[in-house]
Each structure stands twice: as structure tokens, then as C-alpha cells.
Amino acid sequence: MKIENPNDYTPQNTIWAIIAFEGPDRYSLAGGLGVRVSELSESLAALGYETHLIFAGDPTMAAASIDLENRHLWRVAQEVSKRYPKGVYEGEEEKLISFEQETPSIVLNLARRAQEQNKRLVLLGEDWQTAATMIAVHERLYWQGLLDNVVLLWNANSTFGFNRIDWPRLDEHVTITGVSRYMKQKLLSHGIESLVIPNGIPDRHLERIDREAVKAMRDHTEGRILLTKFARFDPDKNWLPAVQAVARLKAMGERPLFFVRGGIESYGVVVINEMKTLGLRVVDLTMSSPTAEEFFAAVEKLKEEADIVLLRFFVPEAIQRILYSASDAVLANSVHEPFGLVGLEVMAARGVAFVGSTGEDYAMHLLNSVSLDTTDPNEIVANLIYLHHNPTMVHDLRRLGHITARLYVWPRVVKDIINKLSYVEMTVPRQAPHH
């Protein structure tokens, strides 16, 4: 390879390919992984890089397409997906077989073109479903004599599926990364030394929220203690302490109003039963693509009959950000959180994030957020009371939280990745190509 500056990864000399089970199709977008790879690939394309995203895509859409300038989508395992129309994780085991069979050929074609054009191919696999594929890709690149033009990374966004990874082989074939120092320690427990590459947020999350809309939300809730939680119904998301904190506030004579958006997970039954057992008034709110005004009107109608409002609809991002900004606290209080993207999104909306203390590297207690040390609901309540009596601190939390969020926009994270690539380039030995 003949590139003037070997540590300079530019749109002129670099092609990116991201491999993930989830992706930007509604069919494929199941959670944080889909959001991450969609936004990272979109950001890379916007920066001018030729970017490829390989994922288990919607079986009704084209197998290969270009949806944005510079971003190429490759939908694999579609024949299997046709039999499982409910989403990416239905029939997961069957899809994995096709995923591992189809992906290497796509990557090899990209690597050949990169070699012909004297470019690098940066290949990034995401989460456990891609670990075996990354090993297979490395071996095929080696035997095709294409490895010298390719940098292989594999990233851990969570610990799920770690028991299914062949760690020695993966560590031998690729450079392993994690999304936080917390994940770095989790990987170290498997004997893996890793690099930290954080998650990011899109620039649009930093856009100014209509202050009149935030004021309207507060007016419609008449000064009640406004709390919000958006998360899957999963024990790791620490739902029960959040619900118990609402009950304790009410027992203290306060008037909390808790907006909840969960998922379809079965653990939701446990959470809702806890709400009712504690005597909290639970109201379902169902809407279809509401405007902010329509949402405010619905809140106005039910506010006197509810302690907890279950948002039983897809909440538009604009309304979600208004809720984040208007709330006294957004409870992103997970007991195990590899990164904590919601907390960062709350900060971007100038909200007050109550986060756990695992993967939220960006969180600084009482400087830009509230970092909870325990699963005790009293800790949530005590911090709410403390902030209620310290309005200047609340103002500073919102201001410094927003400044923190600006440091984690995707273009800045891409610079961090490129910095790590420069290190990888210097340390990973190149093997002689075989023909």
C-alpha cells in the first residue's frame, strides 16, 4: 500500500464497512445496536466516506441499495427473513447461519476493490452475532492475499451472547473494542485487552427545543414532580426502584407524575403489577403520531386521574425531547448499562439525567447529571428533594449536561475511532499474502 501518511484515514483513501445484525430498516431496528450502526454509518457517509452497512434486512426490500449519498445498504439472510416477518430477532438462529454464509462474499468484493484503488477497508463488526463472521472474513481475506489493505475491528456493545464467542480466535484475528471503560473491564474478565470507542449522538439532538413547548408541558402538569423513563421492560433497566420512588414521593404528600415508555417484553407485567400493588393510579395513553399540542391536550385530560402514564405508542422524537427537557428527572437508572445512550440524549435536550454508575463514562455526579450508586429507591427520592432545594444546581446540571453532550456527537466520535485506527495500524502485524 502506498499512501503518503499511513496514519491518515480520509474519504479519499478509506472505505468503511459495518457488519451488524440490526440495521436502519424498521424490520431490523430493534434497539440500541440498530440506532448505533444506523447513525454511525450515516455520519461516516455525511463526512464523505464510502460507507457500507451489512445487516439482516427487511425481506421485502432490495438486497442492495443506496439510501443516502455514499451509504450502501446490504441486506443479508433475506430468504430466511421471509419466513419470519415480525422482526430481526424472530428466527434468529436460522438467520445467523445465512448471515455468516452471505457476508464474507460481500466483504471480499469490497476488499478487492479497495486493493485495486489503493485504499484501506475498515471493517467493523458489532456484537456477538458477528464474531464468527469476523473470524471467517479474516481467514478468507488472508488466503486471498487481501489482508494488508484491511483493518478489522470487533466492537462489544453489551455482554449478551459473550458465552457464544470463541474469544481466543476472535482476539487473534481482529482488534477488539468496547463502548465504555465498564465494557473494557467486562472484556478483561474474558482475558481480552480492548480499546474504548464510545457511542455517539446525531447533531440534531443538540438543536434547540422550543422553550414555549417545554413551558406548555410544565403548565399542563401544574407544577407536579414530573418524571420520565424510556427503556425496555428488562430487570437491568431497574424499573422497580423507579416505580417505588414514585410511590414514596406520593406517600410524602408530593404529586409525582411519571411518564413511562416500555417495550413489549414480558417483564412489563411485573413492572405494571408493582405499580398497582403500590396503589399508584396507572393510565394508558394511546395516540397515533401526535403533534406536541395533541399530546399536551391528552395530558391535560388525564392528569388528575394518573400517577403514572403508560405511553402505549411510538413517541415522536420531538415529544420525547420535550418530555426530557420538562421533567424534573429522567430515570435512566439502569443497574447494568454498557454505555447509557439515553442519559446522553437527555443531556442533549437540557434535561436532568439520573443514571446508573456502570458504563456512563460521561456522567459526573451533580456536575452534569445525577449518578446513582445503589438500587435503593430512597436514593432517587433523596436526590430529587436535594435538587428541589437547589435550583441553581439544577440550572447548572442542565447547562453542563448539554455541553457534555456536544462532546459526543458522531463526527467527534469518528475522530476518536480514527485516532484508534492509527494506533492499530502501528501495532497489528501484517501477514504475507497467500495466493
Q: Are residues 193 and 173 in the same domain?
A: yes
pLDDT at 7: 57
Q: Are residues 379 and 354 in the same domain?
A: yes
Report the predicted TM-score, pTM, of the whole model to 2 decimal places.
0.91
Q: Are residues 113 and 182 in the same domain?
A: yes
Q: Are residues 131 and 268 in the same domain?
A: no
Residues 6+ apart with CB under 8 A from 206: 348, 402, 405, 406, 409
Pairing type for strands 120-126 and 150-156 reads parallel
Number of domains in the chain: 2
* Residues 377, 190: Cα–Cα separation, whole Å: 33
Hey, how many other C-beta atoms are within 10 angstroms of the C-beta on 122? 23
Q: Are residues 281 and 387 in the same domain?
A: yes
Q: How many residues does the chain have?
A: 435
Residue 375's domain spans which residues?
204-406
Q: Are residues 169 and 282 in the same domain?
A: no
Contact (Cβ atoms closer than 8 angstroms) between residue 10 and residue 415? no
Q: Are residues 235 and 378 in the same domain?
A: yes
* Residues 398, 332: Cα–Cα separation, whole Å: 15
The SS3 call for residue 395 is: helix
Phi then psi for residue 428, to 5 deg, are: -85, 120
Note whether residue 433 is domain-resident.
Answer: no
Note whether residue 76 is domain-resident.
Answer: yes
Report H helices in 221-367.
239-251, 267-277, 292-302, 317-326, 341-348
Per-residue pLDDT tens digits for 33-74: 999 999 999 999 999 999 999 999 999 999 999 998 999 999
Contact (Cβ atoms closer than 8 angstroms) between residue 290 and residue 181? no
**Percent of the chain whose pLDDT exceeds 90:** 91
Q: Which CATH number characterizes residue 45's domain? A: 3.40.50.2000
| pLDDT band at 3; cut points 50, 70, 90 | very low
